[in-house]
Structure 1
Amino acid sequence: MEEIKIQGARIHNLKNINLTIPKHKLVVITGISGSGKSSLAFDILFEEGKNQYLRSIGILAGLDNEDRFDTMEGIGPTVAVRQNTIRQSNPRSTVGTKTGILNQLALVYASDGKALDESEHLSPGSFLYTTADGMCISCQGRGSYYDINLKKLIPDKTTTLLEVYDSLQVTAGFLRILKNKYGMYFETSFWELPEDIQGEVVYGAYDNGKQSYCLERILRNAYEKGEDVEEVYAKTTCPDCHGERIGQEAREVFLGGKQIGELGQMTLSGLLDFINGIPAEELSQFGKNVVKNVMEKLKHLIQFSLGYLTLYRELASLSGGEVQRIFLHIHLESRLDSLIYVFDEPMAGLHPSEKQSMIEAVKELRDLGNTVIVVEHDKEMIRHADHIIEIGPKAGIEGGTVVYQGDYEGYEKEDTLLSQYLFSKHLMLERTVRTDRFDKEDSLTLEHVRTHYLKDLTVAFPLHAMVGIAGLSGSGKSSLIEETLMKRLANARKYGHAKGIAGVERISGYAKISQEPIGRSVNSTPASYIGIWDKIRELFAKQPEAKIRNMSAGHFSFHSKGACPDCGGSGYERIFLTSDFSVDKLCQTCHGKRFNEESLSVDYNGKTIVDVLEMSIVQAIFFFEDQNSIVKPLCILEQMGMGYLTLGQPSSSLSGGEAQRVKLAKELGRQLKGNMLYVLDEPTTGLSLYDTALLLKLLDQLVASGNSVIIIEHNVEVLRSCDYIIELGPEGGDKGGEIIAKGTPERLRDNPNSKTGRYLS
């Protein structure tokens, strides 16, 4: 069949929509946040494609019992790459292992590598840190480990154990626990403690695999929160393998004068240059064939603007957009056809100058004979689509219908909410306060920054303004802001000294609004994150029926006393087909409601706890209108254009941009003293231009109220609205790390060195 035909799609907010989607085309599904586009792409198309394939090979027969649509024809095997489900936490999974490049280099080293001494012949596995034969024993193939510098942490020989805990700001609760355990040593100098006690204080004791409270745990928690503790708790390169991850035997084998571990630490661009320079006489015919294949892979990855990565870069540290580009490379290499691919914003994290290569890549995937469906807001991707579907007109209950379906020319003539912004029929709001004059005294200044590839930068960030941080992928934006500015601010707040940063006294505090998920488990919801869930459960516990039954707030929690006894409050039964691939079957006892019958027997103003969880934020504002402490944070979310979210929506299902706005709402709901610094990392990820306009309005209000905003961003609409832009470059990785332009958007437009300015007109 040449078309996918869907009748009566009705999951989430989709309103029984009928659609015909052409196959073997590039199809873009767009719409404002919460309109229902992801429900269509992932919950209807991908899920049914996956389920039909599994049923066809005798798996899942009779398990699909969710009423999501009436009929679907023409669907085939479907592959989905989604922003919030592709993050991997295994530190041994790297760019080199995922792409297969490390394995291929190992083959070349095994066949053509030159050993210092004619040692026995080594197998390919000996050159891989992922094998028992190849890994460095000291660091278990990780190349580094975290270590405490006790001499710097406790430089004074007379410092008592209690003073050590005080310096690390141990909470009163933990101090009581520690006093019960080590109270007799509190007034003893740390350096005079018995050796076994000193070891336990620093590294803890283990009971059933759990580490007790200790200095290492305190410092690790601080490090993971982004606090600058690197002087006393830092990533230490393995002294045996020097970060090369491989064992001694493999480190004695060279190709082109380099060990394989050195190649793993090069950027992909640098690696391509190195391989190009290997003398032909050093390679056998087999080696030449493998090297040719490796070079093709590297060129492909560099084409996808990933040349700044290294083979040893851990996948867990990559952004969603970066991982999608690696997956896209892998699927293009496979040369499979007749598949249906569903991508989730592959343009995320790309500089405007890097977008064309991504568009060409998805077109290439289509031209192999596949159907490529892209959920996307980006105007360039929409312009190149063969078929465009806009879901809308608005979000939540006001969305869920098809407002446009057709080609780009027809879309330009339409008057939908999104097309008005895309084709400049509806212009972005002008900022209320804009300035092009900055007082050097009213700024935060970082001095001599050398983090990662940053080249000894001194950078001044104007305060009481909106400052954009721009640059190509890998140019050093996150190194400058996330890894340096945020850590030095945290250090100044916690330890009272501000090394390498000036002007901290000019702000009253700061809030980092990152793209990290606000909760990874299905039990985390917007209601729990913003702090109203406990208040709602307490309301239910005060109802007459609950008091008669002696029910507490815990009876209205689906992961406590209120949970369905059969599914444990998850709402489904998880069936594992392999060790890492599973499908979910709706719980036959609670039918996805997650609660037991007793909890559902109590209502508040005619609604059960399940009814409340299914309410949108807009509906909840009306329902709880007499409960100010519940309504206040909800109103902030509504102002930010997020009234479509339901209170019980799993936090893990939110896009990076949605998660950021929930975090921002939580910060704004606090009673803050003003003159705050807000730092945001690509907040327009997952946002349409309509939603971007709402975000800009909020950021403008923050600056107009006397606060400061620093925003890492590629979106030209946002950068155009900034008062001041700092652009890093000129390229990524070791070819970046410099400031190539700074000033107002107008100044960048006139600066020939700027790679962003030309897009700001």
Structure 2
Amino acid sequence: MEKINILGARIHNLNNINLTIPKRKLVIITGISGSGKSSLAFDILFEEGKNQYLRSIGILAGLDNENRFDKIEGIGPTVAVRQNIIRQSNPRSTVGTKTGILNQLALIYASDAKTIKEYKNQHHSPGSFLYTTADGMCISCQGRGSYYDINLLQLIPNKTTSLFKVYQSLKVTDGFLRILKKKYGMYFETPFWELPEAIQGEVVYGTYDNGKQSYCLERILRNAYEKGEDVEEVYAKTTCPVCQGERIGEEAREVFLHGKSIGELGQMTLSGIFLFLSEISEEELSSFGKNMVKNVKEKIKYLIKFNLGHLTLYREMASLSGGEVQRIFLYLHLESRLDSLIYVFDEPMAGLHPAEKESMIKAVKELRDLGNTVIVVEHDKEMIRHADHIIEIGPKAGTKGGSVVYQGDYKEYEKADTLLSQYLFGKRLMPKRMVRKHLFVKTNCITLEHANTHYLKDLTVAFPLHAMVGIAGLSGTGKSSLIEETLLKRLASARKYGHATGIAGVEQISGFVKISQEPIGRNASSTPASYIGIWDKIRELFAKQPEALKRNMSAGHFSFHSKGACKDCKGSGYERIVLTSDFFVDKLCQTCHGKRFDEESLLVEYNKKTIGEVLEMSITESISFFSDQNSILKPLCILEQMGMGYLKLGQPTSSLSGGEAQRVKLAKELGRQLKGNMLYVLDEPTTGLSLYDTALLLKLLDQLVANGNSVIVIEHNVDVLKNCDYIIELGPVGGDKGGEIIAQGTPNSLRGNSSSKTGRYLA
């Protein structure tokens, strides 16, 4: 069949929509946040494509569509690449293992490399060149290449500092001090450097009981590091002294190809490896080696084309940005050369600088040209312009969305006059800032000195306060290294210890708030209601109702992961059928039918609604429902003001996109009684936002600055950068050739700056 026909799609807020989607085309689904575009793309197209395929091979034969639609025809095997993939935190999962390049290099080394001792071919297995195997890993660091070590001389430079003073300097709480005094009482006033060696070791590294580490300096510093505090002067990542970061064992470190070991290649950028492989003459390689080198170069060429040349093979997957993760997934799918599939992508343009977008559009088109149907949920103007077919879901969000407001090509879209096409074609404009700062007093700023994190080149940077400051630059140029890993860590240290090296002007702000895109809850029990702090108040309200008092029910009876949970599904609302370790299908619970609660909890009503019905309410609906409950109302009103009235109170937070998660965090912070004169740091807040939603966000950021706060925003979105008072641009390119400030000043000044790679897009 040449088309996908959908009849009566009605999951979430979709209004019984009928759609015909052409196959083997680039199809863009767009719409404002909460309009229903993800419901169509992922909950209808992807889920049904997956389920039909499983049923066709005899798995899950009894699984019905749970009344999500009337009929779907023409769908085939479907692959989804979602924006909110939970990245692996396993340090062994790296760019080299994910792309398979490391395995291919291991084959080349096993076949063609020479040992330093004999300089002749010696048989080695491919596994002995991989840090992921018992044969190949460096025993000292277990294949990690580094570990965290305490610099005691830096932590306790004074020979007379007592153990008590050491604990005090690390801000140990009174409760723990009492416990430690009991344990080390006789040594408490002894200078640390005069303690017996065994006691010193226990104080620093603790003891282990059933694998659990006791309270010690290493644990205190590790907790501080994981919270993002700048403790690197005393608790730093130390390269393994045995393998020097090569991750591989001694035998593999003595085997060379064209003068380099495989561990040295693992630490080079992809661009650097490509040049290295290009220098190897054919005489050095066997016919097998020639073919393998050719294959690896092809792979790396593709990854460089996807603006990933700045990554190293040993770069951990957990440390990549969302955009980088998506591009690696897109590369893997393109490399497979499969056809007749339906691909569903979730904002592949996220995290890309305007100068990098062309290669992504080419890659998506290439996937289509292989004979696949490529469906992209996207807001980006450039991607929409290249679509074969555009579907806009709307007109607004929540109950006011869920309809098809446009379907057709780009040319006709201009005439459609929908909410988003008006922004797209300049009929509606972005809001003008209320306050624009043009002059910056040199003393009215926070200054970073000697910023050297990763590839940063010993930078000194001044961030103007009481203004909106944009941090721009190509992928991998050091934006996150500068803000997340340097500025925020030094701010955290200054706040905790009263001082920090390499930062000045902290006393000019009353505090700071980091609002990242990290998930705000990874399980189904975390919801917007629980995250913004109103869930306990709602449960207490239900516990006060006459029916609840009569039945002696507490607030726990109105929790779906406590006393009130459905006994069969344990409050999840579904039965999970696990097919493999990372592949599963959810089937509606036949006892509670997805309501999550037991029968008794659903007998109690507040304002004629059960607790289950309250969780199904949108933010907008709940504002009028709880109109007399002021403590519940404030954070709800902020969420609606941010254009998020469509979110349901009980929606799992793990289902939110990065941009949605970030706005919920912002709403939570704004709902607190903060002192004013705060510094808000946001990381690509327009991810997942349409032009309409971006306009709402800009109004909110402008309001923050107008109220005397400061805003720093890492961003690629041109509409946001145009609205900044000041821009700091890093470059010139990613990886080891980045980490410099190539331009800074107002958006106007960047337009005329020939060194700026962003300026030309700000016109």
Q: TM-score of the superposition, structure 1-length normalised?
A: 0.97
The residue aligned with 1:47 is 47
Residues 1:142 and 1:463: Cα distance change in structure 2 (over 3 Å): same
| Separation of aligned partners in 1, 2:716 and 2:706 | 23
Q: What are the ranges of 5 or more consecutive residues in structure 1 without an aligned counterpart?
A: none
Q: Name the aligned partner's letter for residue 44 of structure 1.
A: I
The 3-state SS of whatever aligns with 1:752 is coil
Q: Name the aligned partner's letter for residue 397 of structure 2.
A: A
Residues 1:462 and 1:646: Cα distance change in structure 2 (over 3 Å): same
The residue aligned with 1:85 is 85
Q: Which moved more, 1:160-169 or 1:232-241?
A: 160-169
The residue aligned with 1:106 is 106
| Separation of aligned partners in 1, 2:758 and 2:643 | 28
Identify which of 382, 385, 392 aligns with 2:384. 382
The 3-state SS of whatever aligns with 2:697 is helix
Q: Which moved more, 1:282-291 or 1:681-690?
A: 282-291
| Separation of aligned partners in 1, 2:340 and 2:738 | 40
The residue aligned with 1:735 is 737
Alignment of 1:204-243 (within 5 A): 204-243=206-245
Residues 1:552 and 1:141: Cα distance change in structure 2 (over 3 Å): same
How many residue pairs were aligned?
761
The residue aligned with 2:345 is 343
| Separation of aligned partners in 2, 1:624 and 1:23 | 46
Q: Name the aligned partner's letter for residue 95 of structure 2.
A: V
Q: What are the ranges of 5 or more consecutive residues in structure 2 without an aligned counterpart?
A: none
The 3-state SS of whatever aligns with 2:624 is helix
State the shift of 1:728 in Å: 0.7
The residue aligned with 2:450 is 448
Q: Which moved more, 1:324-333 or 1:209-218?
A: 209-218
Residue 250 of structure 2 corresponds to residue 280 of structure 1: no
State the shift of 1:383 in Å: 0.4
State the shift of 1:428 in Å: 0.6
The residue aligned with 1:709 is 711
Aligned-residue RMSD, C-alpha: 1.6
Q: Name the aligned partner's letter for residue 603 of structure 1.
A: E
Residue by residue over 1:116-153, the C-alpha shift from the partner in whole angstroms, topping out at 9 and shown as x without a partner, is 11284211111111111111111111111122223333
- Identical residues among aligned pairs (%): 84
| Separation of aligned partners in 2, 1:568 and 1:176 | 41
Residues 1:611 and 1:305: Cα distance change in structure 2 (over 3 Å): same
Residue 8 of structure 2 corresponds to residue 8 of structure 1: yes
Residues 1:36 and 1:123: Cα distance change in structure 2 (over 3 Å): same
| Separation of aligned partners in 2, 1:356 and 1:63 | 42
Equivalent pair of 1:86/1:320 in contact (CA under 8 Å): no
The residue aligned with 1:585 is 587
State the shift of 1:211 in Å: 3.6
The 3-state SS of whatever aligns with 1:577 is strand
State the shift of 1:215 in Å: 2.8
State the shift of 1:176 in Å: 5.2
The residue aligned with 2:313 is 311
Alignment of 1:594-609 (within 5 A): 594-609=596-611
Residues 1:83 and 1:133: Cα distance change in structure 2 (over 3 Å): same
| Separation of aligned partners in 2, 1:101 and 1:708 | 44
Residues 1:173 and 1:595: Cα distance change in structure 2 (over 3 Å): farther
The 3-state SS of whatever aligns with 1:14 is coil
The residue aligned with 1:290 is 292
| Separation of aligned partners in 1, 2:445 and 2:382 | 36
Q: Name the aligned partner's letter for residue 41 of structure 1.
A: A
Q: Name the aligned partner's letter for residue 596 of structure 2.
A: R
Q: Name the aligned partner's letter for residue 421 of structure 1.
A: Y
The residue aligned with 2:58 is 58
| Separation of aligned partners in 2, 1:404 and 1:526 | 31
Identify which of 428, 431, 434 aligns with 2:430. 428
Identify which of 524, 542, 548 aligns with 2:550. 548
Residue 514 of structure 2 corresponds to residue 512 of structure 1: yes
| Separation of aligned partners in 1, 2:381 and 2:526 | 33
Residue by residue over 1:400-440, the C-alpha shift from the partner in whole angstroms, topping out at 9 and shown as x without a partner, is 11100000001111111111111110001100111222211
| Separation of aligned partners in 2, 1:185 and 1:37 | 64
The 3-state SS of whatever aligns with 1:574 is strand
| Separation of aligned partners in 2, 1:158 and 1:669 | 47
Residue 675 of structure 2 corresponds to residue 676 of structure 1: no
Equivalent pair of 1:86/1:323 in contact (CA under 8 Å): no
| Separation of aligned partners in 2, 1:60 and 1:182 | 61
State the shift of 1:194 in Å: 5.8
The residue aligned with 1:129 is 131
The residue aligned with 2:354 is 352
Residue by residue over 1:181-223, the C-alpha shift from the partner in whole angstroms, topping out at 9 and shown as x without a partner, is 5566545554555655554443344444444443333222211
State the shift of 1:465 in Å: 0.9
State the shift of 1:347 in Å: 0.3
| Separation of aligned partners in 2, 1:413 and 1:142 | 57
The residue aligned with 1:662 is 664
The 3-state SS of whatever aligns with 2:272 is helix
Residue by residue over 1:160-197, the C-alpha shift from the partner in whole angstroms, topping out at 9 and shown as x without a partner, is 44433332223345445555655665455545556555
Identify which of 564, 567, 576 aligns with 2:566. 564
| Separation of aligned partners in 2, 1:167 and 1:513 | 28
Q: TM-score of the superposition, structure 2-length normalised?
A: 0.97
Residue by residue over 1:436-488, the C-alpha shift from the partner in whole angstroms, topping out at 9 and shown as x without a partner, is 22211211111121111111111111111111110000011111111111111
| Separation of aligned partners in 1, 2:183 and 2:540 | 37
Q: Name the aligned partner's letter for residue 736 of structure 1.
A: G
